[in-house]
Structure 1
């Protein structure tokens, strides 16, 4: 574990005592102890309280809060307070105010709307972080630093435009290189001076106020995505470096947005600079379990499989959805353990006491408006707190192990959806999720990686819609397959390079040799259209005859690859729809359309069987999620029932000892609705896989 030794999975959440009179604070300490709360995130939105003007800093109240938590035995995640700048700053220094996609300059209000390239904001944010580190950097209660909060803003102001030009000068070196990269001869856009370049927004290159991906020049907009993500990361690093210089032994993080797949920021780049990744988990009541699981695995993947912090979740209901339903009994515990099962080393909430004003006053909390412990939610929180205390450090810093990787890359996402490609229905995250779902349904562990990740420890790598191929990546994939790996990629892959210029010579460009095929045309299907994937008899069995597919269909020619399935309909009936190419000691597969879930479920299962990759537990019923974390030669299993009814789970000859009570589990166990079993493996039965 990074920094000071963590001796357990900490349990707590956001605490905002500055919103309450002091007489409530002592009651909070009593209730926290009852609930097993041992960490509080404080000072997240306190910039205005701590700094009432340019020159004055008032730490007295924060001192009191820190000391009270410390005396109560509660560790602190100390926020830098920079999630919202004070009103005086916007009034005196309007450069902190961002400009939106339509070119409108904001006024003071809301949050997360500062210009990331504002000199004023950068000056005062860094100064605030330094002063906090000077004052609290060695405090014994301090467990982790929390920079800002859910960072992210796309700004189109004059400061950003100037910074964008400087960024482009560093990237391209000359206007000739930039004009070539952006293909500016199209529509006569050639630039002869850096000051002629403007930001791509609704006032310049973009075409649709409701669709920011519709742009006349994809290369310009793609570079803006990169520039903006780096600009926001720079503001985080200003605070990070100011703190690290004075508090070097305490880990530093910033909580990432609740949907995980937050498009404006390349979180794989952020993972390099967070000592521990932190994430806010806010699924809706009807969010598919696999969607949440994918994002949890993504958070684990940001630091090459390292555990992360579950920084926020709600204990009951959310406040910003159209219908803010309650979490049913047991669901908070179930979803908390799902996060732990996939790599979380904390369980934390927003928030510990419910606000009584403003837009989140009806967002759930550990302490509700009733103000006491006699509520269903508090009871469930307390039970989970006791469970975590009993388990202690047993699971801490254990890892999920996988032989399968799915490539998810922000730059591929940006480029594919900016591309003016074949269909508006092509959504990168949705296509990646489809493949993830197939493995999740079989309880086959998956790591989420990006194009920079090492692939050699995997047997199977799936890279859906690999539209953009960065320099050297085709060779990296070739080496992986040559050495015996299995690669799966799909339609709309290998199309373009670093700056969104099409790779000439035929699709899939640099991947053509590896895949052994040439794509001549791509047909886009309307929403009410579909085609069929008809599998060759060599794949066996009547149940493998045909499946549906849609969105697009590639019309391809074989150049060494073998057709494993063909299209069933339209003028390209009989043309290859699924191919396999032997390459070195491995093989590369190409899926030429977007297949239905049944195809992916059956076909990926067959691929895994051929590679000796089995589900963690054979015969697990639908709705039961099974995962495993390991450390020091020990394996810890998580059996989670997301179904609405009880499920019986056959363990085979796998033997487990449940945590924390030590009960022996063997044969078949029953999980009630929202039921959870956490257990250590005894020996290595045949139900245990992938070691």
Structure 2
């Protein structure tokens, strides 16, 4: 439980009463109970309101809001306000301002404009956190701390350059080692003094955003910037923990956001929280995968849905309204995948600036007589009825997909073999094949314990970090099934190629070696021709993007290429290794192949779908105290029928027993409570 002061799924969101007069807040306090709101996130961007210069702090306005919320029975997620520094700070201490990728010094403006290595920012941000902790440590409304907001964005200023050199000295100790791992003999880049090292941007090593002449340098700069922003978070967290060690601390993450290594960040968070903003055309499977990544950051621990919009968002090219029922449906999708909160940005819609057209519980109409408010109130009532039935329930997945930010950075920085390769898309292809069959899947980091799973999938594991290959071999030798793909096992953690043949340190477990890789044009395809029927797999399937030309050493060949000069060579292999097996998929297959492939692999391990449902009807399980909670969610715009089975089960949302053939309404939700099946 995140905090026992709210023994239910939290329901609320970002609230900015400092933007309104007292009469408006009075009206908000009248309407919040109508919607079932029980938690408000406040003070997210109020640094300038509370501190007008170096010495002057005024929290009287915040006292009034905290006390008023407490009087109304609403708990507070209290932000530290450091997501946007004040204008006076930028004017007096310009070191706080970032330098962009092109070497331009920013002026005050926007919000993510603080250099993470600015001495000024690192002085005043933790001080603000300390003052807030000391002032509100005993406040009855406080349930969780929210540090800054949506960390992100890199800086290339002189402070960052100096600290990058310090970071490198700690990491590599000697210039000799640094020159080795960066391969600086290439293009005469040998460094003889730490001060010769400069930041990699458009003025030095990089161009076009993610292209670079020296992958090792650029890769380390991404690690450094992620660590620098994390250190800013930790400076505030440490001040808070000294004063309120018992109150949980979080900051809101952003799913597959590319710039920060969230697996490293999660180690320093009491609870993971994140902001979910799918577009109207985002596949629901991708949203599900994003939730599972957030759940996987802390080994399956439930997370907070910190932000979502109740209706429209404001930054997409086309900001479509959520259709009736979709807000409720997507909220339960988050809960199904591990969220113990449902929170919005925002509770009242702003009247000016760039978020005035971002949706809210209370729209510009200013009253409760709107479709959006009614839907939110209905959901609030349901969450009240559910109480603590779902809190702390966990996933019981037997399949996991490996995801690694540093691997992603390295692939994106790679000078070839194709610009069409997208690491997250390849991850999603495998996830979607499992999702569509209602097979529960975790998304985990490379440090996670593999022994909890029967099947582990590592698409495009280009970078194999120290020890990962050994852990994979132990997992397979003990009976596990491992799946990896083309462009895997190529480099080590420094982006240096592992010599001796691809897939490098994965060669023994996969039983193959790759001689070369062919990059296909977007309009080109090859084919995977099955050597014999295997379950639903039969005949030929299209594949593309990259085609590894591989040789089977100890592996069995299951499918071969259908065209080109490597026609008849292996494209799908299976290698028996100890008690388990490893598959190698040498190209990027179509969805039909992946669906059949994952069905076969799971059947081999006795992993069955949670339920057999029509397309668009998602099924997810959370388990708690010997009870299975089966979430059934219809993402279709029409009612769908399916067989719910004969188990003794009750829909928690209606209180009715559910057996046999049933119909779920368009965009409807069921939560079936039943005894948990023995997974042993």
Smaller-chain TM-score range? over 0.9
SS at match of 2:206: coil
Match of 2:284 in 1: 289
2:660 — aligned with what?
667
SS in 1 for 2:375: helix
Write the distance in 1 (CA, Å) between the matches of 2:28 and 2:384. 19
Partner of 2:239: 242
Residue 355 of structure 2, aligned match among 346, 351, 360: 360
Aligned residue in 2 for 1:518: 513
Aligned equivalents of 1:503 and 1:568: distance in 2?
30
Contact 2:399/2:440, CA 8 A, preserved across alignment: yes
Q: Which residue of 1 aligns with 2:580?
A: 586
The answer on whether the counterparts of 1:404 and 1:447 sit within 8 Å (CA) in structure 2 is yes
The equivalent residue for 1:330 is 325
1:642 and 2:639 are equivalent in the alignment:
no
State the shift of 1:538 in Å.
5.4
Q: Does the 8 A contact of 1:515 with 1:589 survive in 2? A: yes
What is the CA distance between 1:4 and its match in structure 2? Answer: 4.4
CA drift at 1:5:
4.9
Q: CA offsets, 1:277-336, max 9 Å, x none?
A: 001110111111101001000000011000000000010100111111111110000000
| Equivalent position to 1:222, from 219, 222, 225 | 219
CA distance in 1, matches of 2:557, 2:162: 52
SS of 1:589's equivalent? Answer: strand
1:74-153 to structure 2, matched below 5 A, reads 74-153=74-153
After superposition, what is the alpha-carbon deviation per residue over 1:83-132, rounded to whole angstroms, capped at 9, x for unaligned? Answer: 10000000000001001111111110001121000010010000000000
Q: Distance in 1 between matches of 2:236 and 2:123?
A: 10
1:207 is displaced (CA, Å) by 3.0
Counterpart for residue 589 of structure 2? 595
Q: Secondary structure at the match of 1:374?
A: coil
Q: Which residue of 1 aligns with 2:194?
A: 194
Structure 1 equivalent of residue 469 of structure 2:
474
Q: Which residue of 1 aligns with 2:181?
A: 181
Report how far residue 537 of structure 1 moved.
Answer: 1.1
SS of the aligned residue for 2:597 comes to helix
2:535 & 2:388 partners in 1: Cα distance? 49
User: Could you tell me how far apart the structure 2 residues matched to 1:233 and 1:540 are?
Assistant: 48
CA contact (8 A) 2:653 2:670 kept: no
Preserved CA contact (<8 Å) 1:415 1:500:
yes
Equivalent residue in structure 2 for 1:442, among 437, 440, 444: 437
C-alpha separation between the residues in 2 aligned to 1:101 and 1:365? 34
Q: 2:613 aligns with which of 617, 620, 627?
A: 620
CA 57–540 in structure 1, closer or farther in 2 if over 3 Å, else same: closer
Report if the CA contact (8 A) 2:134-2:243 is conserved: yes
CA 1:464–1:370: 2 relative to 1, 3 Å: same
Residue 7 (structure 1) aligns with: 7
Cα distance, 1:3 vs structure 2: 4.9
SS at match of 2:122: helix
CA contact (8 A) 2:36 2:380 kept: yes
1:314 maps to 2:276:
no
Cα distance in 2 for partners of 1:23, 1:372 equals 13
**1:658 corresponding residue in structure 2:** 651
d(CA) in 2 for partners of 1:182, 1:464: 26
Quote the residue 2:229 is aligned against.
232
Deviations, residues 348-391 of structure 1 (Å, cap 9, x unaligned): 00000000111110111000111111111110000000000011
1:127-149 deviation per Cα after TM superposition (whole angstroms, max 9, x unaligned): 00000000002211111100000
- 5+ residue gaps in structure 1? none
**Offset, 1:661:** 3.6
Structure 1 residues 563, 223: CA separation in 2 closer, same or farther (over 3 Å shift)? same
Q: Which residue does the alignment assign to 1:348?
A: 343
Residue 421 of structure 1 and its aligned partner are, at CA, apart by 2.5
Alignment partner of 2:340: what SS? strand
Q: Deviations over 1:2-53 (max 9, x none)?
A: 4545411110000000000111111111100111000000000000000011
TM-score normalised by the chain length of structure 2: 0.99
Report the 3-state secondary structure (helix = DSSP H, G, I; strand = E; otherwise coil) of the residue aligned with 1:639: strand
SS at match of 2:163: helix
1:304 is matched with which residue? 299
Secondary structure of 1:40 counterpart? strand
8 A contact 1:117–1:231 mirrored in 2: yes
| Partner Cα separation in structure 1 for residue 271 and residue 386 of structure 2 | 22
1:400 corresponds in structure 2 to 395
Measured in 1, the distance between the counterparts of 2:386 and 2:493 equals: 48
Q: Post-superposition shift, 1:662? A: 1.8
CA apart distance, 1:540: 5.7
| Structure 1 residue 660 displacement after superposition | 3.9
Q: Residue 653 of structure 1: CA displacement? A: 1.8
Cα distance between partner residues in 1 of 2:673 and 2:3: 27
Distance (Å, rounded) in 1 between the aligned partners of 2:668 and 2:496 = 51
Q: Distance in 1 between matches of 2:359 and 2:513?
A: 54
- Quick check: 2:5–2:143 contact (8 Å CA) kept in 1? no
What secondary structure, in the 3-state scheme, does the structure 2 residue paired with 1:103 have? coil
Alignment of 1:538-549 (within 5 A): 539=534, 544-549=538-543
| Equivalent residue number for residue 387 of structure 1 | 382
**Residue of structure 2 in register with 1:564 after alignment:** 558
5+ long unaligned stretches in structure 2: none
SS in 2 for 1:456: helix
User: Take 2:603 and 2:535, find their aligned partners in 1: how far apart are those partners?
Assistant: 14
Are positions 1:271 and 2:266 aligned together? yes
SS in structure 2 opposite 1:143?
A: strand
TM-aligned CA distance change 1:594 to 1:528, over 3 Å: same
1:449 Cα offset (Å): 0.7
Aligned length: 680
* Farther off after superposition, 378-387 or 652-661: 652-661
Q: What is the aligned-residue RMSD (CA, Å)? A: 1.1
Task: Between 505-514 and 1-10, report the one with greater CA deviation.
Answer: 1-10
2:670 pairs with 1:677: yes
TM-score (norm 1): 0.97
Matches of 2:483 and 2:559 in 1, distance apart? 15
Give, in angstroms, the shift of residue 157 of structure 1: 0.3
Tell me if structure 1 keeps the 8 A contact 2:533–2:539. no
User: Is the 8 Å Cα contact of residues 615 and 689 (structure 1) preserved in structure 2?
Assistant: no
Provide Cα deviations, 1:385-407, integer angstroms capped at 9, x if missing partner. Answer: 00000111110111111000000
CA distance in 2, matches of 1:231, 1:468: 23
SS in 1 for 2:44: coil
